Structure 1
Amino acid sequence: MKDESFDMIEAEVEDKESVRPLTKIAPAQTRAKFSSFQVLTIIVALVMTSTVSFLGGVIYDRRTGDAYSEDFQVFWETWNTVDKEFYGDMPSRQDRVYGAIQGFITTLNDPFTAFVVPEQADIHRQFMSGKFGGIGASVSIDANGEPYITRLLRGNPAEKAGLEPLDVIKGVDGQSVQGLTLDQVVDLIKGDVGTEVLLTIYRPSQDTTFDQPIMRAVIEELTAYSGMVGDIGYLRLSSFNAVSASQTEHELQSLLDQHPRA
């Protein structure tokens, strides 16, 4: 049986010619209360709506998972076959996972998109920031596997200490670097700003070996260079990082101030 107050309001609406604002209905009518059955019905409806929405999310996720499973079926079949049948020395699971990720990145054919393993991520982030604690020298590996200095950053500790391009790094803080990778050597040289690093240097031009202490400083890698050849200006950008844009702007303005012909 309907609530009486609702019957009266309903009658008001049905009689279009006598519609009045609800505020003018008698106080007893405006204080109408929901019956227990109506309240229960509303609660059940809300719960069912939430349940359907939630189940919809679960069903959607499950379908998404099934789609991923189908996409990766060939991958996992290959993985399991190699895992069981490969006769050689099997790389670690982590190396295989990294290799799979690297293979995916390679398919993008984009030289500016790369996967960096977590062990090298901190070094990479420092490099991309353009600032780090170091000595201000670029290092490479020669044909004999020895690290050597390729370039000195102007005004930085390595240049001030008298190091030169082609100087070979034999040791860092008394530790031989023979057999180390380039990343390992660079990691030894870098450190907290204000700390000292001792490099053992072999200088081929003088056939001498010596120890050179260098104080680490905040290094801002110079990626933009400019100069004049006659009345022709040139601008060189060696790499990209967080400070490349500001350095390029500075070098370009320096060129324009010299009024180059081209």
Structure 2
Amino acid sequence: MKSKSPNFRFYALLSLIILLNLAIGLAGGYYIRDQQLFSINQNNYPLLEQAYELLLDHGYYPLPDQKKVEYGMIRGLLQAYNDPYTTFVEPPQHELQSQQLRGKFGGIGARIERDSQNNYRLYPFADSPARREGLLDGDILIEVDKVKITTETTQDDVLSLLRGEKGTSVQLVIFREEEQREYSFQIVREEIPIPSVTWNTLPEDERVGLIQVNLMSSTTPDEIQKAIEDLIVKGADHFILDLRNNGGGLVDTGVKIAELFLPADKPILTQTYRDKPPQTIQTSKDGPFTEIPLVIFTNNSTASAAEITAGALKAQQRARLVGTPTFGKYTIQLVFDLKDGSSLHVTAAEWEIPGLEPPIRDHGVLPDDWIENETPDNLNNRYLQAALQAFNLNTNP
């Protein structure tokens, strides 16, 4: 019979939880009272230790590798913590999320798509490093830096391998079907922007500029300013900010977008961290677009930082909201990088919009003009007609 003495491999698995507590304490320790810090040692988890030992001694199947066990322990901890917005993100997904929020990444400049056989095919952008080095549309990716790419490889893993720091190189092996042969390429990564904003004038009325905002990244406020300036040149003098299906992003971005349209000394956001008094953020100067007529589109998938923009501009009667109530996410997450490239997203604060009635926590941000459920073909037209009516422009029935 095997000994039931403490297994040191088990305690090694607890090290990551210790590191999590240390990371949170170091990065935001002034929010945590010293006497409340949780001390982890071998006596804290007798049931977990016993279960691990039983699996090790009697389990028919081998235990997963240490990283899988560590990840499982973190997920179990968060499940017990019971906050849907405190989450653990593995390395590939964390890197992709970080790139999206930065609004750019180091890459080869190619789109990847799966074909009917689940192979990954590359489609280089015009004037991209991939195109200049000779990659062609439809080349099948079979290896990145000596890592084999198979039909089982996830898209996040492929993107993570292709992307990296600007100026670094990546080696690709592709298969070209037309020639039935493989080629190898050494490509130096360049900075590739990830646009979060698209814009155009309305075909129905070119006096109206439509700005679609897909994500609240660090580059989004500048992109919106560029969009408005371009649309003004094209003759637009009324503007729609389309925040439908915008799941949010950086809190600062939601604030900065609101600042574009508000005069000085207007409150935007009040945030409350644990053991800290509420702090209100307000505009410090007049924004560049304080006078332009503005409508904002929202729906139930408008969330987080996008709700900050919509709510602040509604509260200050600076924009008219058209659509359905927003999602209603009024918490702030701090992101802590872990040593293996994964991350822990921790709910650390709540926010509210001064002057917004009813408060966002009750029903989300409510629209001024409600768009009832319609068939998908007619839904967008209903939004546009409501915007034109809000602007008092001529509309078609």
Calculate the TM-score normalised by the size of structure 1.
0.50
Deviation of 1:98 after TM superposition, in Å, equals 0.9
Q: Percent identity?
A: 22
Equivalent residues of 1:136, 1:221 under 8 A apart:
no
Look up the match of 1:93: 66
Deviation of 1:230 after TM superposition, in Å, equals 1.0
Equivalent residues of 2:175, 2:182 under 8 A apart:
yes
1:122-141 alignment runs, 5 A limit: 125-141=98-114
Deviation of 1:97 after TM superposition, in Å, equals 2.0
1:169 aligns with 2:141: yes
Q: Distance in 1 between matches of 2:117 and 2:55?
A: 36
Q: Distance in 2 between matches of 1:209 and 1:244?
A: 43
Per-residue CA deviations over 1:188-231 (Å, capped at 9, x if unaligned) read: 43345345556555678x78777566542122222222234514
Look up the match of 2:9: none
Q: Distance in 2 between matches of 1:236 and 1:150?
A: 25
Per-residue CA deviations over 1:220-256 (Å, capped at 9, x if unaligned) read: 2222222345146443344453323432443344345
For the aligned residue pairs, the C-alpha RMSD in angstroms reads: 4.7
1:189-208 alignment runs, 5 A limit: 189-194=162-167, 197=170, 199-200=172-173
- State the SS of the aligned residue for 1:109: coil
1:1-262 alignment runs, 5 A limit: 65=39, 79=52, 82-105=55-78, 107-110=82-85, 114-117=87-90, 125-141=98-114, 144-149=117-122, 152=125, 156-158=128-130, 168-172=140-144, 177-178=149-150, 180-194=153-167, 197=170, 199-200=172-173, 211=183, 214-231=187-204, 233-258=209-234, 259=236
Higher helix share: 1
Structure 1 residues 257 and 194, CA, compared in 2 at 3 Å: closer, same or farther? same
Q: Distance in 1 between matches of 2:219 and 2:186?
A: 28
Structure 1 residues 173 and 99, CA, compared in 2 at 3 Å: closer, same or farther? closer
- State the SS of the aligned residue for 2:89: coil
Deviation of 1:99 after TM superposition, in Å, equals 1.6
Per-residue CA deviations over 1:106-132 (Å, capped at 9, x if unaligned) read: 64334xx54234587556544543333
- State the SS of the aligned residue for 1:97: helix
Once structures 1 and 2 are overlaid, which stretch shifts more, 213-222 or 77-86? 77-86
Deviation of 1:94 after TM superposition, in Å, equals 2.8
Per-residue CA deviations over 1:82-119 (Å, capped at 9, x if unaligned) read: 55554323112331221232345464334xx5423458
Per-residue CA deviations over 1:122-180 (Å, capped at 9, x if unaligned) read: 5654454333321223435556442234784x764346668677654344478753354
Q: Which runs of 5+ in 1 are unaligned?
A: 1-56
Q: Which runs of 5+ in 2 are unaligned?
A: 1-32, 240-383, 385-397
- State the SS of the aligned residue for 2:200: strand
Q: Distance in 2 between matches of 1:187 and 1:249?
A: 31
Calculate the TM-score normalised by the size of structure 2.
0.36
1:148 is aligned with what amino acid?
R
Equivalent residues of 2:124, 2:130 under 8 A apart:
no
Look up the match of 1:29: none
Once structures 1 and 2 are overlaid, which stretch shifts more, 93-102 or 206-215? 206-215
Equivalent residues of 2:103, 2:194 under 8 A apart:
yes
Equivalent residues of 1:200, 1:209 under 8 A apart:
no
1:90 is aligned with what amino acid?
L
Q: Distance in 2 between matches of 1:102 and 1:150?
A: 37
Higher strand share: 2
